[in-house]
Amino acid sequence: MKPVVLILCTGNSCRSHLAEGILRAAAGDLLEVQSAGSKPTGQVHPLAIQVMNEIGIPISDHRSKHLDEFLSRPIETVITVCGNADQACPVFPNQSNRHHWGFDDPAHATGTEQEKLAVFRRVRDEIRRVFEAYAAGRRDQTTLKT
């Protein structure tokens, strides 16, 4: 059984799905990656889906979930990607790691469609750098244990 990494944000519509898709692509063979929110919006933002398709990581099958869905599951690592989720985050059974890496919420971007897309791309790329580095570290840990 793979360790479960749960990525949390408030709405579970943008940042957590960007991170979930990127981490799953980078380390899905090592980790089960999920995302949820403390106050889920009920949708994955269409621009999040669009910018992830641009890098070849489809997330159109993701759904917005409440963190309560995971309270009875053994979660190894919780990663919050916004301050509100960090403050609202419960302790999960068997949780051994917790990280907080905050990112701007692209859902609050204003302006033209192109200006909004630019914000989504910037946040996606920031999340990609952090979560690909995290995946590489986890891969290194696994290699050292074997």
Catalytic residues: 9, 82, 89
> What pairs with residue 77 in β-bridges?
5, 97
The span from the CA of 118 to the CA of 112, in Å, is: 10
Give the torsion sign (CA, 92, 126, 14, 20).
Answer: negative
Tokens, residue 15: 């940042």
The span from the CA of 142 to the CA of 119, in Å, is: 34
Helix, strand, or coil (residue 106):
helix
Please say whether the beta carbons of 8 and 83 come within 8 A: no
The span from the CA of 30 to the CA of 141, in Å, is: 11
